[in-house]
Amino acid sequence: MKGLFYDPSRSLKNLHINPLKKALLLIGDYYYQQQQISSSQLTDWQDSIEKFSVHNQTQYELDPGWLAPITIEQTLTIELTSQAQVMLEAFSCFCLRPCIERMDWHSVLYAPVLQTSMQSFLSSRLTMKSSDRKQDYAPATADNLLRMLRGVAHHAWLSESISVETLQRIKAIKLPRGSRQSSGRYLSYTDVDQISALTLAQSNKIKALRDNAIFWLMYESGLRRAEVIGLDIGDIDLYLCKIRVMGKGNKERHVPFSKSSDLYSAIEQWLAIRLQHSQNISSFFCGVNRYQQLTVQRLTTQTLNDLCKHIHQLGFSRRISPHDFRHSVATNLLRSGYDLLLVSKFMGHSSITTTQRYDRRTDDELQGVTPGR
């Protein structure tokens, strides 16, 4: 439940309580119809579920495996909505500790079979729904699929379901190498100026200043979505013009910016609003309601996706994503003549190979790049 403690101020979008409660009520009714529980037990069951409230359980802790597995001799035939079924399965996996132990990992995680299955799966071509064209899996997609299977094998080994020899054979599986052009779309300063103008024209002026600061932050600092929403008020230093960022792998870095930049101006305006309206909110970017009041709720990565979609609806010429801003800042730095290693450190990449994939310079810029004596 995104943490072992119920917290009313935390976003509960990843756990919809009502479908889960409905599913559990149907389970209780089914057991009563099968005469496996009494009428009083059913009443207690229904009361405990219906009266459950996140706000009344702030100090209640759930430990994985707190519900012992129950052996049922017959198959349950209960009609559930798809949403209730998903929630019930997720809840069951959380409650039942031996779920991973009941899986027959030896028949699945057998290296020769796994390699053959992967190659057969990746060689099949995907039919696009919009047309008759067919599209291969990109090499990065294939690599991600294999990486996920290796992760499953690693956890199976940790649970002593497979041997270390089987794990090493699975890790030794190799797929054909290849590459594709990055899907990131380049945004120029003219594009971001237009995005900024559309953002500031919104009727909710407080939200407009916040969104404008977010867009300039993503464009001139190249922060990832999770890094943007993870910023706290103390991570921004306007005096030294540095942003303290906690990136992937719990790696800390400091991203500089200029006092003459658009980012400095946007952050300065939003910071004035933040300090004026509330000093009890830790997150740098917080929610803004329709009454132009700040809320304690921290933004989510989906919020940034929605902001980009909203800009297109406001009149921007094309669809954009938060990651387009990150691709663009890497391209701008490389165009300015900074070497690849410096750009890699600025972006928080652990390898310069990743930074190379962010380069959106066009083939036209290769004209005139010829070796001389």
Q: What pLDDT band is residue 311 in, cutting at 50, 70 and 90?
A: very high
pLDDT tens for residues 168-188? 888 888 776 665 555 557 899
According to DSSP, the β-strands at 236-237 and 134-135 are unpaired
* Residue 31 among the catalytic residues: no
Catalytic residue among 169, 207, 210, 224: 224
The C-alpha atoms of residue 202 and residue 291 are separated, in whole angstroms, by: 13
Percent of the chain topping pLDDT 90: 22
Look over the chain and give the mean of its residue pLDDT values, rounded to a whole number: 77
Higher pLDDT, 161 or 229: 229
pLDDT for residue 65 is more than 70: no
**pLDDT at position 200:** 94
Least-confidence region, from 28-32, 159-163, 358-362: 358-362
The C-alpha atoms of residue 310 and residue 277 are separated, in whole angstroms, by: 25
Catalytic residue among 225, 323, 327, 360: 323
Catalytic residue among 6, 31, 219, 358: 358
Average pLDDT over residues 246-260: 89
316-332 burial by CB neighbour count: b if 16+ within 10 A, else e? Answer: beeebbbbbbbbbbbbb
Higher pLDDT, 48 or 368: 48
pLDDT tens for residues 4-54? 444 445 444 445 567 777 778 888 888 888 888 888 888 888 888 887 765
Q: What pLDDT band is residue 340 in, cutting at 50, 70 and 90?
A: confident
* Residue 248 among the catalytic residues: yes
pTM of the full structure: 0.61
Average pLDDT over residues 200-217: 94
**pLDDT at position 370:** 44
- Which of 233, 207, 228 lies closest to 216, judged by CA? 228
Whether 257 contacts 250, CB under 8 Å: no
Higher pLDDT, 149 or 325: 325
Pair of tokens at residue 123: 């060689």
- Which of 324, 297, 294, 329 lies closest to 311, judged by CA? 324
Catalytic residue among 16, 248, 309, 318: 248
Least-confidence region, from 59-63, 265-269, 282-286: 59-63
Helices 262-277 and 205-221 cross at an angle (nearest 10°) of 140
CB atoms within 10 A of CB 345: 13
* Residue 16 among the catalytic residues: no
Domain boundaries, the chain: 17-97, 103-125+135-171, 189-363
| Topology given in CATH for the domain delimited by 189-363 | hpI Integrase; Chain A (1.10.443)
pLDDT for residue 130 is more than 50: no
pLDDT for residue 93 is more than 70: no
Sign, CA torsion 155/156/161/167: negative
The C-alpha atoms of residue 188 and residue 198 are separated, in whole angstroms, by: 16
Query: What amino acid occupies position 277?
Result: H
* Residue 323 among the catalytic residues: yes
Catalytic residue among 169, 207, 298, 326: 326
Pair of tokens at residue 315: 């009149």
